[in-house]
Structure formats: structure tokens, C-alpha cells
């Protein structure tokens, strides 16, 4: 039975409150445009959704065994002989993430169960990516595994660039982002929101010096 994935990323400095925003629209199916009395805001929709999903899945990976489901048809993965030998020694790490991976002979492994909340249609890609991480990470611990697994799943589950959102969908995403613990950067550390004050805009148009 997998243990809870205890441990959390190092405490971050206290962040400023997320601004209250009014949606203007969407640019090229990639950026949300919003405003308030302070100025103009551009939000990377993929990065925003990734942050929302990361915090959701980070909580889920805290107790992955509670949500593991057995597969009627196992997922089959193939690895090179050298990777297979290494992977057999690290199968317990998959179990800690709620994934039961079994060696099936040679370079073949079977996934017989995984958390039901893995994004539908992305299960094999997620577990393949987890395997690559487990194979190449030198010093694995529960905190690293929880963080890496949450990042992998959140990326697969998030909306992409060039994806049109309705105003309702865009506003919902902004509200969910505002509720995040770390709403200003995605799990990879990239910025989610860029702002321009009214003064910044006036300078761009040379209305002020």
C-alpha cells in the first residue's frame, strides 16, 4: 500500500493579493486580456490552467492509493535492456504515486492500475514520462516524486495555446487562478500574468515623459 507522499516544496515568500480583474477578451486563443483600475493584464491561459491543475493534483498525490483503479486492459510499455534493469529496482516509486507497474519479461512492463483522476487519454503518456523521470533522477525522495508527478499530470491536463475559450470559461479560469497559493508562476517557473499600469501605457504612447 503506497504511503502518503509527505513533504512539500520550500515555503515561498508571501505574495501580493491577486488583483480583481474584469475580462476584456482573448488574444490569438492564447492570452486572456483583463483590466482593473490599476491597468491592463495579460494572462497566459496554458500557464494559468497548469498552475490551477498543479495545485489540484499536488493535493491528490498526497494520498494516491485512495484513488487507484485496476485496469481491465493493462497498459504495456517497452524499455531498453539497460533501462529495464534499472526500472525493476525502482518499481516501488511508481507505487508511491499510485501506479502499479509490473515487469512482464524482457523489456516489457505492464501498468495494472493508476489513479482514476489521471486525464483521460493521457494515461500512457503520463506514466511513460514518469518512467523517464524515475530512470534519470539520481536522488529520488517522496517530496520530489510528488512535485514531479503533479507537474507532469497538470501539463497533460491543461488547455493549450490557440484554444478558444468562451467568456464564461475565461472568467472561471481567472477565478480559479486567483484562488491558487502561487498564482503568478506556472509549475515550471514561467510567468503567468504580465501587467501594465496606466502610467506604463501612457509612456508607451508618449503621453507622458
Q: What does the pLDDT read at residue 15?
A: 74
Q: How many CB atoms lie within 10 A of CB 209?
A: 5
d(CA 179, CA 34): 17
Q: Which three cell numbers stand for residue 181?
A: 497559493
Is residue 73 within 8 A of residue 112, CB to CB? The reply is no
Q: What does the pLDDT read at residue 6?
A: 39
Architecture category of domain 65-157 in CATH: 2-Layer Sandwich (3.30)
Q: Packing angle between helix 123-136 and helix 142-157, nearest 10 degrees?
A: 150
CATH superfamily of 22-60+159-204: MutL, C-terminal domain, dimerisation subdomain (3.30.1540.20)
d(CA 29, CA 94): 36
The β-bridge partners of 105 are: 108
Q: What is the DSSP string of the chain?
A: -PPP----PPPPPPPPPPPP-EEEEEETTTEEEEEETTEEEEEEHHHHHHHHHHHHHHHHTTSGGGGEEEEEEEEEEE--HHHHHHHHTTHHHHHHTT-EEEEEETTEEEEEEEETTSPTT-HHHHHHHHHHHHHH-SS--HHHHHHHHHHHHHHHHS--TT----HHHHHHHHHHHHTSSSTTB-TTS-B-EEEEEHHHHHHHTTS--
Question: What residues does each domain of the chain span?
Answer: 22-60+159-204, 65-157
Q: What does the pLDDT read at residue 13?
A: 60
What b/e sequence results for 140-177 when a residue is b if at least 16 CB atoms lie within 10 Å of its CB, and e otherwise?
eebebbbbbbbbbbbbbbbbeeeeebeeeebbebbebb
Residue 207 vs residues 144, 195, 201: alpha-carbon distances, Å: 50, 19, 9
- On the question of pLDDT at 2 being above 50, the answer is no
Q: Which of 58-67, 69-78, 88-97, 138-147 has the lowest mean pLDDT?
A: 58-67
> pLDDT (tens digit, 9 = 90+) per residue, 20-60?
999 999 999 999 999 999 999 999 999 999 999 999 999 99
> pLDDT (tens digit, 9 = 90+) per residue, 153-172?
999 999 998 999 999 999 99
Amino acid at each position: 500500500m503506497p504511503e502518503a507522499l509527505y513533504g512539500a516544496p520550500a515555503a515561498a515568500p508571501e505574495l501580493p493579493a491577486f488583483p480583481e480583474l474584469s475580462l476584456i477578451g482573448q488574444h490569438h486563443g492564447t492570452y486572456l486580456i483583463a483590466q482593473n483600475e490599476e491597468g491592463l493584464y495579460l494572462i497566459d491561459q496554458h500557464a494559468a490552467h497548469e498552475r490551477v491543475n498543479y495545485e489540484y493534483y499536488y493535493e491528490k498525490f498526497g494520498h494516491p492509493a485512495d484513488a487507484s483503479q485496476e485496469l481491465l486492459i493493462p497498459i504495456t510499455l517497452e524499455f531498453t535492456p539497460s533501462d529495464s534493469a534499472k526500472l525493476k529496482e525502482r518499481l516501488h516509486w511508481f507505487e508511491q504515486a499510485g501506479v502499479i507497474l509490473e515487469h512482464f519479461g524482457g523489456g516489457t512492463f505492464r501498468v495494472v492500475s493508476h489513479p482514476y483522476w489521471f486525464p483521460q487519454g493521457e494515461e500512457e503518456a503520463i506514466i511513460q514520462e514518469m518512467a523517464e523521470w524515475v530512470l534519470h533522477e539520481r536522488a529520488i525522495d517522496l517530496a520530489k516524486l510528488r512535485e514531479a508527478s503533479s507537474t507532469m499530470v497538470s501539463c497533460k491536463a491543461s488547455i493549450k495555446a490557440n484554444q478558444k475559450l468562451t467568456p464564461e470559461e475565461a472568467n472561471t479560469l481567472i477565478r480559479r487562478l486567483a484562488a491558487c497559493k502561487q498564482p503568478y508562476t506556472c509549475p515550471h517557473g514561467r510567468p503567468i500574468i504580465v501587467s501594465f499600469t496606466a502610467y506604463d501605457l501612457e509612456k508607451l504612447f508618449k503621453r507622458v515623459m
